[in-house]
Amino acid sequence: MNWLDRSASIAPPGFNRWLIPPAALAVHLCIGQAYATSVYKSALIGHFEVSQTAIGVIFSIAIVMLGLSAAIMGTWVERSGPRKSMFVAASFWGVGFLVGAAGIFTSQLWLVYLGYGVIGGIGLGIGYISPVSTLMKWFPDRPGMATGMAIMGFGGGALIASPMSTALLKFFDGFNPAINGADWIASGSSVGKLFLTLGILYFAVMMYGVANIRVPAASWKPRGWNPSTTKVDAMVTTAHVSAANAIKTRSFWLIWAALFLNVTAGIGILEQASPMIQDFFRGADGNSAVNAAVAAGFVGMLSIGNMAGRFIWSSTSDIIGRKRIYMVYLGVGALFYTVLAFFGGSSMLLFVAMAVVIISFYGGSFSTAPAYLRDLFGTYQVGAIHGRLLTAWSAAGIAGPLIVNGLLDMQGKPGTMMASNYLPVLLTMVVLLIIGFIATTLIKPVASKYHEPEAALTSATQEA
């Protein structure tokens, strides 16, 4: 299909670059549904009559596949261009839901693992990295803002998917508030219908992105922006490094470590958000001042912080620099975690404010990462390098919950803990963030021996 080729998606003269962010967002808002799986978790547990872990594995498989597919397919995505890779992502994401629906209707859990977990997870990985390097090429003057816009969508996807899925489940189940109480749990068949609906809907919306994404001509640049007059920054290279060479550099692994440690610490709060706020405000009589509905409000607040941080902090990095913003994420993050650990239980406002800022740093570290990679390794294969970096996310997705759950299990049973029981967890996160802060300070410009020769770059440009 020639229409999907990179060469067919080169923007014509006069193309408005502000058409690109909605195309990128169309993909990221859809795949961001991955953060909203808790909506139907209880329904699937009841339908398949299995443990929480067995259903939680679906999400875990999807996140592991996200990291693996982004790392393995990154070079292909870079070579094929955003249109073809976004089409492949839309197909995998849509088909993943349809196969998952088949698994629910036939009560075969392995089909849900295969569909949503494996097939959908591949769609997640390819979709996540597909539009990012293209956006940075369209906004070379504001790469942080550009990646922030797209990756904000991944955070925002759950904000849309969560209420939309609840509304659809109620519709499919014929929910009646007079009959169904507050403890209503959706039926398995309605979750199956939800998967069918989401598969078709997400494929259609992502196809809008496929149809409207464009790559700029090789030497295009915004009017009035002259790279040669831009303030010289040793941390921003004009050279280019291949993905194969990038992973041989110390700087790549230092960014990997910083992202891994920041995400691990962020997951510490995200994973435990609802019980955590209830435990922090539990009285001596064992009753919490925070009920489940208020805790849900806190989780919603964190989602908004996660999404907003992706745009705000990444845009800020265009002004203060990528290294400094990462030092803020990790340094100020460690400070706020310490405040949360020792004083979080004294005030609801303080607790929520600290947690929301920490989660905004969590989101910001994701969206700033591709711009940081561009600064250090150039635009040549930045999408492929970004794909390899995302293995840090997969690793943190395993390490974060393991650390948090392991330490909390030693403190007591769920529903009986208090603020003091969270000290070991939160102080562990502080140590992780300090290590990440040190790693960030050690990031240096990439040595010239890793730079691509000019001839190879010219040849690659002509082939594209």
Partner 1 sequence: MSDQTHHAGAGVQGNSAARVTNVDPYDVPTTLATGKVIFGWALVGIPLLYGVITTLSKVGQLFG
Q: What is the contact surface with partner 1 in residues (CB under 8 A)?
A: 11, 13-19, 21-23, 25-26, 29, 153, 156, 158-164, 205, 208, 212, 216-224, 293-294, 296-298, 300-301, 303-304, 348-349, 352
> Which is nearest to 156 in space by CA: 144, 148, 145?
148
- Whole-angstrom Cα distance, residue 144 to residue 240? 18
Judged by beta carbon, residue 161 or residue 246, the one nearer partner 1 is: 161
Are residues 408 and 421 in contact, defined by beta-carbon separation less than 8 angstroms?
A: yes
- How would you class 198 by CB atoms within 10 Å of its CB: exposed for 0-12, middle for 13-18, buried for 19 or more? buried
Least distance (Å) from partner 1 to the CB of residue 443? Answer: 31
> Cα separation of 190 and 176, whole Å?
15
Choose between 23 and 371: whose C-beta lies nearer to partner 1: 23
**CB of 338 within 8 A of CB of 265?**
no
Residue 460 CB: number of other CB atoms within 10 A? 17
201 vs 279: CA distance, rounded Å:
39
Closest among 4, 39, 27, 54 to 123, alpha carbons compared: 27
> In angstroms, how far apart are the furthest CA atoms of the chain?
73
Query: CB of 209: closest distance to partner 1 in angstroms?
Result: 9
Smaller CB separation from partner 1, 18 or 110: 18
Of residues 205 and 457, the one with the C-beta less far from partner 1: 205
Q: Tell me the closest approach of the beta carbon of residue 306 to partner 1, in angstroms.
A: 11
Identity of the residue, 175 or 220, whose beta carbon is nearer to partner 1 in the bound complex: 220
Closest alpha carbon to 163 in 300, 45, 259: 300
Name the residue nearer to partner 1 (CB basis): 80 or 303: 303
Phi, psi at residue 222, to the nearest 5°? -60, 145
CB of 89 closer than 8 Å to CB of 209: no
The Cβ-side half-sphere exposure at 258, using a 13 Å CA radius, reads: 32
Q: Copy the structure tokens of residue 12.
A: 């014509």
Min separation Cβ 52 and partner 1, Å: 23
Give 139 or 252: the residue with its C-beta nearer to partner 1: 139
CB of 305 to partner 1, least distance (A): 10
Backbone torsions φ then ψ of 451, nearest 5 degrees: -70, 145
Would you say 46 or 300 has its CB closer to partner 1? 300
Partner residues linked to 451 by β-bridges: 241
Contact 36, 158 (CB under 8 A): yes
* Distance from C-alpha of 188 to C-alpha of 422, rounded to nearest angstrom: 36
Shortest Cβ 458–partner 1 spacing (Å): 12
Which residue has tokens 């004009």? Answer: 238
Question: Shortest approach of partner 1 to residue 109 CB, angstroms?
Answer: 29
Report, in Å, the least distance between residue 21 CB and partner 1: 8
To partner 1, the closest distance from the beta carbon of 170 in angstroms equals 14
CB of 268 to partner 1, least distance (A): 20
φ/ψ region of 279 (left if φ > 0, alpha if ψ in -120 to 50, else beta) reads: alpha
Closest separation in Å from C-beta 314 to partner 1: 17
Q: How far is the CB of 15 from partner 1 (least distance, A)?
A: 7
Residue whose CB is less far from partner 1, 224 or 283? 224
Give the span between the Cα atoms of 89 and 387, in whole angstroms: 14
Given the complex with partner 1, which of 30 and 396 has the nearer CB atom?
30
33 or 394: whose CB is closer to partner 1? 33
Residue 215 dihedral angles phi and psi, to the nearest 5°: -105, 145
**402-to-265, 268, 398, 438 alpha-carbon distances in Å:** 12, 9, 6, 23
The CA-to-CA distance between both ends of the chain, in Å, stands at: 16
Residue 401 tokens, joined: 């919950």
